[in-house]
Chains A and B, each alone.
Chain A
Amino acid sequence: MFNLEIVSMAWQALIANKARTLLSMLGIIIGVSTVIAVVSIGAGAKAKVEEQFKNLSVTSLIVFPSRGAGNSKLSVDDLNTVLNESKFVNEGNATISGNSTIAFGKETQSGTILGVTENFLDIANLEISEGRDFTLEDNKNRAKVIILGKTLAENLFEDSTLALNKTVKINNRQFAIIGVLKENGSSSFGTSYDDSAYAPFETAQQNILGKNAQVRLVFLAREVELMELAEEEVTTILRETHKIREGKDDDFKVRDPGSMVASATETSDTLSFLLVAIASIVLIVSGIGIMNVMFVTVAERTKEIGVLKAIGAKQKDILTQFLLESVILSISGGILGILLGISIIPFLKDYGAMQSLNGVLLGFTFSVFVGILFGFYPALKASKLDPVDALRSE
């Protein structure tokens, strides 16, 4: 028999004892707001990880020189060697990078210049918004062409659509802008894709960055499952090519950024789980508080329960009434906790907190659950009271 009347009766019973009600709600309020704060920090951390690595293919392996660039034999030739010999790797590119100044008329911008082989944009998941990608010929001919990142193009031309086919000066040489990238937002090795300019590998090495610029190779394994094999294989091939004797250290490093993503995600998941677990303990403790209060309430109102039974209340009616009281108690606490939780998130911005519906839902579900779980036993006891014994109590 669930209707508004019985809800209002339960509500009246609760407001008849304001201080007690509020105190027993306190645990729920703190528990729920903790859950919300914690989940929002977790969501923020996760979003940050995803943002950072969103351009990363899970099958990619990155190879870079391990010592100073001068001592490492890692070069663009290794790219083809590996691609020709490898069973587990089927795609790859080479990049060199360095800083330079890009000028259009009087407007100058300093930025990162990346010299890239022709399939770089594909592998890095970058898209052209205006113009075209590099071709094999661009690289072979050392064509003086350049593609600009979105932000860089905007800084030079105000409107990025005006950049196409204009000529910019880098190292006192003229480069034709053949393309502008779509806005991307992410970065690689600390350099934002949007702030960079891209030139064909040979062009960049010859005309901008010089022979000594660090080469970085990226390979894609055929399958995620082959990552470990691919890593071993690439290492073996490169050691052979570089003629590194047994027992000597590699002059390059191979990194598997996919596993970095996985471990970063895992760390943030573990952290969230741990914090939610702590908040859950707070909620369970607050549930025990509610159970305590409900036992006191039932004991205080034993006589009333006897009267209700004498005038025709069924066990179910009594059970519903007391259960509703604890559920209303915990839901009210839950709602206050949600309000508190939402209002403290802005203060947690430094920890990357982010409003998250999940936290609100989790907190609310938890508070309803606590109310039912810990209110049930006292309510059941109330409903099973013998009417004569109950009437006799004072």
Chain B
Amino acid sequence: MSLIKLEDVHKSYYLSNGEEIPVLRGVNMEIKKNEFVAIMGESGGGKTTLMNILGCLHPLSSGKYIFEDADIGYVQDDFTLAYIRNRKMGFIFQQFNLISKLSALKNVALPAFYAGIKVEQRERDAAKLLKSIGLEDRIYHKPSELSGGQQQRVSIARALINDPEIILADEPTGALDSETGKEIMNLFSEFRDRGKTVIIITHDPKVAKMAERIIFMKDGQILDENYKLPNS
């Protein structure tokens, strides 16, 4: 059953002089529930824009974005958008993007705060999650007191706290060494094994190889929905 379906999605930016810069030029793709997908492609090919559209951070210029059988490509309502981002999606960034003045625990609990969960409950859940990824002795540390790998694990815990359907990770291992990157990828595999869906953007073939399927993008279009890495 398909979780995500994009039909002829276009997305353009406009410069201040009114000039149109097309970034996505007719993207068609389908991602099934419980898939682990990597998106590869050259820089400037539209990967991040695609990810932002999947994460409901952007409306489409044209086309259709079906998520769980609902067309959500043009939702404007702030409440609905915030709800989808908060409960359905878990966002992970290359630069971790933790809130620097909050402890690991508070960072992880933050999306649950926006979901209206009471403080005792959400901090209990956050502590449990941090424990499950081996950071139980770091829960009161600020991001600046954690290594890159630890920070990325905290941000994964933050993405998971509201038990989303799907993880959207933009270059999650890009700032980490390959060993740490592998640990992060293992966390994604565990999440997938619980029946959830993972979509990551990566440049690194070794990382991409750990996904089940690779989508290859070029010039704002999907070049290959089932890309095979050349044997090396």
B-binding residues in A (CB < 8 A): 1, 5-6, 9, 12-13, 16, 303-304, 307-317, 387-388, 391
Among the 9-residue stretches B84-92, B178-186, B198-206, B220-228, the one with 4 or more Cβ atoms under 8 Å from chain A is B84-92
**Is B55 an interface residue when CB atoms closer than 8 A count as contact?**
yes
Beyond A309-B82, A310-B91, A314-B82, list 19 extra A-B contacts (CB 8 Å): A6-B113, A308-B114, A309-B85, A311-B86, A311-B91, A311-B114, A312-B85, A312-B86, A312-B115, A312-B162, A313-B82, A313-B86, A314-B78, A314-B79, A314-B114, A317-B114, A388-B58, A391-B93, A391-B97
Contact present for A1 and B52 (CB under 8 Å): no
12 A-B contacts, Cβ less than 8 Å apart?
A9-B102, A304-B99, A310-B85, A311-B86, A311-B114, A311-B158, A312-B85, A312-B87, A314-B78, A314-B82, A388-B57, A391-B57
CB of A271 to closest CB in B, whole Å: 47
- When distances are taken between beta carbons in the complex, the residues of chain B under 8 Å from A16 are 101
Interface centre among B55, B58, B113, B158 (most CB of A within 10 A): B113
CB of B157 to closest CB in A, whole Å: 12
**Is B75 an interface residue when CB atoms closer than 8 A count as contact?**
no
Give Cα A391 to B93, complex, Å. Answer: 10
Interface centre among A1, A307, A308, A387 (most CB of B within 10 A): A307
Main secondary structure of the interface of B (DSSP, over half): helix
**Is B46 an interface residue when CB atoms closer than 8 A count as contact?**
no
Give Cα A317 to B114, complex, Å. Answer: 8
- When distances are taken between beta carbons in the complex, the residues of chain B under 8 Å from A313 are 82, 86, 114
Give Cα A315 to B81, complex, Å. Answer: 10
CB of B126 to closest CB in A, whole Å: 13
Give Cα A13 to B115, complex, Å. Answer: 22
**Is B119 an interface residue when CB atoms closer than 8 A count as contact?**
yes
- When distances are taken between beta carbons in the complex, the residues of chain A under 8 Å from B102 are 9, 12
Give Cα A12 to B114, complex, Å. Answer: 18
Contact present for B57 and A307 (CB under 8 Å): no
CB of B94 to closest CB in A, whole Å: 11
Report, nearest first, the 3 A-B pairs whose CB atoms are least far apart.
A312-B86, A314-B82, A312-B114
- When distances are taken between beta carbons in the complex, the residues of chain A under 8 Å from B87 are 312
Contact present for A309 and B57 (CB under 8 Å): yes
